[in-house]
Structure 1
């Protein structure tokens, strides 16, 4: 089994908080990770998509009280929102008897839904962790281009052939559209949402223009915005916000949007393998968003992520803002001989970042200028993880 970077963080959260919410897209490995960590606690596992396990919670207070000596894993907990007040009561009762941590591990596939339900009732009692698809540090024994082409979902990345990997991703998309997404919001025609998802893939890494998406779909702007919000909530799409400091510059104020898993991008665009990808117009943006998503997964919540762009052409692909105010500027190039553009120099002159990197597909780390380093994705991800 591939070791997940989140494993020690999850163990630490369980050790210090009475409830922990682990959320991430379906099929990303939440249950596998939860069960692996739960073995240390002889955890009790309940899948709330199972009628048998759901029946055990017909009287949740009684059932859960009988197992307060164990860590209880509740999978797809958003299916039983009525549980949260019960959990609050049991946690408070256990606190009065001296038990302060390691009671409940909640797994869910929709971040906003789970955060809202749990936040309203378990404030001060719950910790939150997000599990992303496999990243470059977790799959160091697998070629980086395989991770890029297939994406990081375990079943896709580890499929025995490229054809089976693509088929898994196509089935994954179909299942989300036809079965999973209707659980989380108003009913949306699967074909309409499939078209919207495909538009996002074609627009990978572009600045958001909701009005254009709405016109292409034949819906109003509010409806198109709700489609985007749903895919963001399901952790399938990311909105990368623009840097917002007032520098007296005309800044781009709309976020960039991209499908978070590169393998899903390629499946949405019917790109079967690396050769097809390299000849496709999306190749540059696919690589850029793949790099950004891996870096953010490895940085976790240590730094806030933005991009920077002005109307005058100054631009930074990824800007990391650390809690102490430091900025790291990261440019992304799909070239073995990367060159820094004038727009990056201009942006750095505006913002004065303390570190400047150019991520490229090579392995050697070297200086492009006195204060700019060319670095591999693996090396920078490793630096961020241990920062």
Structure 2
């Protein structure tokens, strides 16, 4: 989004360095900026555990301190109920169904660029600005279709977790950090006197600050014991529920008998109806085709085969591909195998030319082969 002059912008401030510098840049660009911290937990922890989680009381205080330094209005919005309904509960349900969701994608889709954007527009704001690392061109109020691109810093690129957004959602977004390496963002924060300049990044699921996803799910999903079988169909172990596993997992399988060839076993597939966990050698994780549901397009939906680059994980997991639109979604044929692709993940499609950095669309992976 660019070129429309000063706007009223709501800056989402998590309490971290990225969103603080983003808010500062929006203010310096001449926009009328108001900071908002999203309270997403009904019972937030008092303190963060290093780089684990976010949305703590400490984060809220840090966001307020940064807003004070920037001399912008600041508010806290309680979206805990909406977050639980749209992100946490679907996350648990997906694991119970044997799929592997990415809650950051759903938070962007359902919270930051749905609930927050809707409320912001209702209050007269033109756009929502965040500290995401992605590049965006196009206008919030003009006729130009928004174009989402990878960030200049490939190690911090977040275009994948934004690839599920619709054009109308991106049309109301601003990402001021897309052209800047992370090291420069921290240096800028220090130069501005922001207390979060050296604050660790959050790397875990924000609503599981302990990092113990298995324990979190065990408190919310009843045990459903079943068998672990190898490619021959032989039972090699037992488990408490398919929600304890993800496709590609190697450690923590609890299989006491080694494979006949002595090689490690990996989770190949999860079958919640039969309560079966399929395990086998690493090469059996390779997939060459996948089907996707609920596609979202930032370009006109293709009427024929679409050559692209597909990405199936937030970092890595890319391959050349051909996408075909079907009655149920999309079919994707990979030019080379990808390993450990799990249903429930997102497949984000990028334009193959120009460095493969322009997002074309996305779909939720429904099945692989």
Same structural fold, with TM-score higher than 0.5 when normalized by the shorter chain? no
TM-score (norm 2): 0.28
TM-score (norm 1): 0.27
More strand by share: 2
